[in-house]
């Protein structure tokens, strides 16, 4: 397993603290250290809005988004932020959808969004994560 030669500015959005911890640990093992975490779509959106309004900080280049979260799921969040991906501050960002479900219809729903470049099932090995990231 090799490390990436560059470090993504990464945002993990997942309501599961354990899943965020595991994913962040795997990313760090791959050499990705610039990681922000949010436990809900709303807090992630608030964070991004604050970045835009205060022009403080660098927008993430990689978002790893849980598909199923209370109140607002990942697909809903991405649809809401679509203008930001089309011609705004997330224009150069890519999304890796993250879900406990392997259902083909969920993967198809996620992959139908133009900013989603990959789909990773929770519990994936570090090798599977690396493979998904290398396709971005």
The first and second tokens of residue 67, run together, are 């598909």
d(CA 18, CA 78): 23
CATH superfamily of this structure's domain 9-134: Response regulator (3.40.50.2300)
35 phi and psi, to 5 degrees?
-125, 125
Q: Where are the domains of the chain?
A: 9-134
Which pLDDT score is estimated for 5?
A: 46
pLDDT in tens, 9-54: 999 999 999 999 999 999 999 999 899 999 999 999 999 998 888 8
CA distances from 125 to 23, 30, 70, 80 (A): 10, 12, 26, 30
Q: Which two tokens stand for residue 58?
A: 């660098």
Report the pLDDT value the prediction gives residue 56, as an integer from 0 to 100.
64
pTM of the model: 0.92
How many residues can be counted in the chain? 136
Percent of the chain with pLDDT over 70: 93
Residue 109: pLDDT over 60: yes
């Amino acid at each position: 397993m090799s490390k990436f030669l560059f470090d993504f500015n990464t945002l993990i959005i997942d309501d599961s603290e354990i899943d965020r911890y595991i994913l962040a640990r795997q990313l760090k093992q791959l050499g990705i250290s610039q990681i922000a975490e949010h436990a809900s779509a709303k807090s992630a959106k608030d964070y991004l809005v604050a970045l835009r309004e205060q022009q403080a900080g660098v927008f993430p280049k990689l978002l790893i988004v849980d598909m199923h979260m209370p109140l607002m799921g990942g697909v809903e969040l991405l649809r809401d932020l679509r203008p930001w991906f089309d011609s705004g501050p997330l224009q150069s960002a890519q999304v890796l959808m993250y879900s406990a479900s392997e259902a083909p219809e969920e993967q198809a729903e996620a992959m139908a969004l133009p900013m989603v470049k990959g789909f990773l099932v929770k519990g994936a090995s570090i090798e599977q994560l690396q493979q998904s990231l290398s396709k971005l």
